Amino acid sequence: MKKASITSPATPLRGAAAQFVESKLAAGAVAFSLDELVENTGLSIIAARNQLLRLGNKVVRVSPRQQFFLIVRPDHQVMGGPPVEWWLDAYFRWLGRPYYLALQTAAASHGSSPQAIQVTQVMTDLPRRDLRIGRVRVHCQMCCCKNANEATNRRLCAALRQHAGGDRL
């Protein structure tokens, strides 16, 4: 008499994060949040984190405390992440914060800088820590002038909030 083999049924959620990442790449997106992954795959937060860990260096977290991830294609493995221009807008939209590119970075993105930009400079309304993803660096600065009075700083920040992004990529 044959023994019935005991196998666990394949769960439909196995590899869901990898499929989600592939679908994002196929759609041309290189950034996503953990909430977006959980919502689209039906995974729990813990299962989603574990599946992302199994993907290794194909997915990198923007900041250790934030649940925002970048998809690293094989041609960007050397840099450690995709170019800033590809994901910066999605990141600040996810944060819900206005931003604009600082002058030299904005000039470089429009092709009028004679030198390659090593650090992307971003102006925003609240202080933020700098981001380092592999060789990709983003320096965040708050929109205020030390020499200006408080009213001027409030006007600058209000203008930034109203403009909601200035020279976004």
The CATH number given to whatever domain includes residue 59 is 1.10.10.10
pLDDT for 161: 56
- For residue 72, being part of any structural domain is answered with yes
Choice between 121 and 48, residue whose per-residue pLDDT is larger: 48
Residue type, 148: A
Mean per-residue pLDDT of the chain = 79
Q: Kindly tell me if the per-residue pLDDT of 6 is higher than 50.
A: no
- For residue 5, being part of any structural domain is answered with no
Q: Kindly tell me if the per-residue pLDDT of 102 is higher than 90.
A: no
Report the number of distinct structural domains present in the chain: 2
Pairing of β 68-71 and β 59-61:
antiparallel
Secondary structure of 13-46 as H, E, C letters:
CCCHHHHHHHHHHHCCCCEEEHHHHHHHHCCCHH
Entry pTM: 0.73
**Per-residue tokens: 132:** 């380092």
Q: Are residues 167 and 118 in the same domain?
A: yes
Burial class for 167, CB neighbours closer than 10 Å (0-12, 13-18, 19+): middle
Q: Which domain holds residue 71?
A: 12-82
Q: Are residues 62 and 120 in the same domain?
A: no
Q: Report percent pLDDT > 90 for the chain.
A: 38
Q: Kindly tell me if the per-residue pLDDT of 149 is higher than 80.
A: no
- In Å, what is the CA distance from 71 to each residue of 55, 57, 68, 83, 111? 10, 9, 10, 11, 26
Q: Kindly tell me if the per-residue pLDDT of 97 is higher than 60.
A: yes
Domain boundary among 49, 82, 115: 82
Q: Kindly tell me if the per-residue pLDDT of 16 is higher than 60.
A: yes
pLDDT for 154: 61
Q: Report percent pLDDT > 70 for the chain.
A: 68
**Per-residue tokens: 147:** 């020499």
Q: Kindly tell me if the per-residue pLDDT of 144 is higher than 90.
A: no
The model's pLDDT over 22-67, given as tens digits with 9 standing for 90+, comes to: 999 999 999 999 999 999 999 999 999 999 999 988 999 998 888 9
